[in-house]
Every structure is written in structure tokens, then in C-alpha cells.
Amino acid sequence: MTGAPISDSDVQAFVDGRLAPARAAEIEAWLAERPEEAARVAALRQDRDALRAAYGPIAAEPLPARLVAALERPPAPAWRRVAAAVLVFAAGAAAGLAGGYYGWPNEPERRDVVRAAIGAHRVFVPEVRHPVEVAANEEAHLVQWLSKRLGHKLKAPDLTASGFRLVGGRLLAENGRPAALFMYENAAGQRITIHCVAEPRAGETAFLYRKVDGVSAFYWIDEKLAYAVIGTVEREKLHEVARAVYAALEKK
Amino acid sequence: MSGVRALVLEQVPALRRYARALTGDRERADDLVQDTLARALSRLHLWRPAASIRPWLFTIMHNLFLNERRRASRMVPLGADPAEPAADRADSRALLDDLDRALGQLPEEQRAAVLLVGVEEMSYEDAANILGIPIGTLMSRLSRGREQLRRLLDGDGRPRIRRVK
């Protein structure tokens, strides 16, 4: 028996089963005389067990492929990181263009862009009567309007070679910033959207792929715009469309 | 995969579990894990092989989580969803929802302490190091967090979660 006063830390260590047996016995004796405190300690243990039971199975799940891929990919060579840093510095942008090497942007701001783009896709694609604000028959006006609002020259790429024709577009408000959405449709009625938003940090990334609840997105940054091509078509088809969009935008 | 990467891979299930409980959101959790892995790989040269890799990875994750929270705090919180009757949902799902909701009401610093010690079974010393606080502070966060959790799960006239089963 140490006889030391019983502190709150002792009680926590007792809950966690981390006390030396002698000290644990003292706490037990102490609790035996205090039924209310004993009930509280029992509840703390039950809560801890409930947390383990609820979150434990997550550790037994198969790992998402993107996490395994993040570990398999070789780290970016030092010269490439240096080049990226120089590019960012030269552009006068905030530090840290590290995203893109692992298939999904590592910077939260960029991820928010993809989330917002997928969200807009989900909201507007099921619309039957008002999927767009300005329809394809006013394409020139649409592109001019959205370019003006985003402060960058935009383009509604011609995707007929991939089987998609322009439905129209709309202006979106995302975190207080204007964004543009172009919607396309194929003969089967499948719709894809192209999402554009100004990217304050200039840069360039490879295509990044993300799938959330059945909606897929290819995302990239080119100069000062971030693009996402979004749809529920299969990945290969969407990739083809994304490449077509990229190619169309290259031809200024 | 090299030896060190294999060691990191072994920790991914625990990192996912902790991130999921900490954020209350599956997708955000895996984003956090992915960021953690990317940062860990870029800093492997800073890891001392004599030290256990687990606390090191959790420390990286904790710092990334704080950064993300600081950024997200600029957005307006929407508040918790109103509680649905637990009986309408599958038991395991109901348990997870109830705990997500209760954990979400704890201050983050207490939530992290409760999870690192209670679920991840970190030593008090490791947990304190991960959070960058003295052990005394950890114990006090742990105690307050657990007590508030007990009240949350007891309170509101709702049955305690384990009686919902």
C-alpha cells in the first residue's frame, strides 16, 4: 500500500488498466466504498470499449488503393521538387506546390476544388428542365460571360469526337469565388461536366483521378485555371474526354 | 517496397482508424492519411530508425489535422445533424453515428487524447509527445474528454449507447 491520495490521473490509469497491481488494488478498495464513483468509472470503461468496438473494424478494412499507391510511388526526385519550388517562387505564390505526385492533390485547398466540382455535378446533372443557365444555342455569349466573371479566357471545348455535345453552362459560387460549369451530353443521355475555377497559384499538374460515390473526376491545373472533368461514365471514357478537353484548351 | 515503406504500410490501418474517429468523415479521414503518408515519405530521412515509427506517423498526422482545421475554421460550421431515432438504423451503424456525434461535440484536443489513449492504446508518454503537450496536460484532457463523453452519451434523455444494442 502506498496510501497516496487518489488523483484523477490514477482513475484514468485505472480505467486504462495501466496501474501496478498494488496501486490498482488500492483504487479498487477506494471505489468499493464509493458506489457513485465506481459507477462512473465503470461507465468510462464502457465508453472506451464502445469506442474500440465502433472504430476498431476500420483498421480491418482493405486499404483504399490510393493509399497503397501513395506508398508505392517513388518520391519525387529532388530536382523536381526544387523545380516546383522555383516555379512557385517565380510566380510569387504561396509556398508548397507539393501536390500531384500521389494521384490526388495533397493540398486541402485544391481538394476542396474537386469536392466542390463533384458537388456541383451532382446537383445540376439530374436537372431536367433547368440543367444550365445559358444553353448551347447561345454558346458565344455563354463563354464570353463566364470568361468575364472568372477573369480568364475560357472555352467550351468541342467534344463531338468523343460523342458529347454541349448542353450549356452556368456560373457557380464556390467559397465566394466564381466558377464555371459546362455541361455535355451524349446520345445515351449520359452527362459530363467541365468545371473551371481560377487557380491563384500558377502551376501545372498531371491528371489526377478521383472517384467519390460513383462520380469520377479528372482534375488538373494549367496555368491559372484549375479544371475538372466529371462524370459517371467509366474511367477510360472519362479519361478520353479529359484528354480531349486538355487538347482543345491547348489550341488557343 | 523498401523496408521503411513496409513499416509505414503496417501503420496505415491504425492511421485510418484514428483519422476516421478524429474527423468523423471517411473521405476526409483517408485524405488526411494520404497527406500523412506523402509527408512521411518526403521526410523519411528525419526519422530515427531507433524510434518507433508509429508515434512519428501519428505526430505528422496530428500536425496536418491542425493545419486543416485552422484552414477550415474560416468556413461556417453547419452544426450536427439532428438525431434520428437509433432504432431505425442498423445497430453497428447506429453505434458509430452516436459516437461520431458525441465525439464531434468534444473539443478537438480532448477528442484526440481520448482516441489516442483509449482506441489506439498509445502510452501516455507517446500520446503527450504526439500532441506536443506535457503528460499532466494530456491526463487532464483525457479526464475531461472522457467525462464529457460520458455525460453526452448519458444525457439528452437518450439512452446510453450500449443499451441501444
Find, in chain B, the residue whose alpha carbon is nearest to that of A67: B34
pTM: 0.59
Q: Which residues of B touch A71 (CB under 8 A)?
A: 1, 5, 8-9, 12, 37, 41
Residue B1 has a pLDDT of 61
Nearest to B71 among A55, A104, A108 (CB): A108
Distance from CA of B16 to the nearest CA of A (A): 7
Answer positive or negative: Cα dihedral of A10, A15, A17, A23: positive
At A14-69, the pLDDT tens digits run 999 999 999 999 999 999 999 999 999 999 999 999 999 999 999 999 998 888 88
Instruction: List the A208-212 sheet strands across, edge first.
Output: A134-135, A164-174, A177-186, A191-204, A215-231, A208-212
Asked if the C-beta of B66 comes within 8 angstroms of chain A's C-beta atoms, the answer is no
Complex prediction ipTM? 0.84
The phi, psi pair for A153, rounded to 5°, reads: -75, 120
Neighboring chain A residues of B27 at a CB cutoff of 8 Å:
212
In A, which residues are within 8 Å of B67 by CB distance? 108
How many other β-carbons are positioned within 10 Å of the β-carbon of residue B144? 17
- pLDDT tens per residue, range A102-141: 344 555 666 778 888 998 999 998 888 888 999 999 999 9
Q: Which residue of A has its CA nearest to B98?
A: A54
Neighboring chain B residues of A68 at a CB cutoff of 8 Å: 9, 12
Cell digits of residue A178: 466564381
Q: What is the pLDDT along chain B (165 residues), one digit of tens a residue?
A: 677 888 889 999 999 999 999 998 888 899 899 989 988 888 877 777 767 889 999 999 999 898 877 665 544 433 334 344 444 445 667 778 889 889 999 999 999 999 999 999 999 999 999 999 999 999 999 999 999 999 988 654 344 544 443
- Separation in Å, CA of B90 to nearest CA in chain A: 13
Q: Is residue B49 a contact partner of residue B2, using CB atoms and an 8 Å limit?
A: no
pLDDT tens digits for range A212-245: 778 889 888 887 888 899 999 888 889 889 888 8
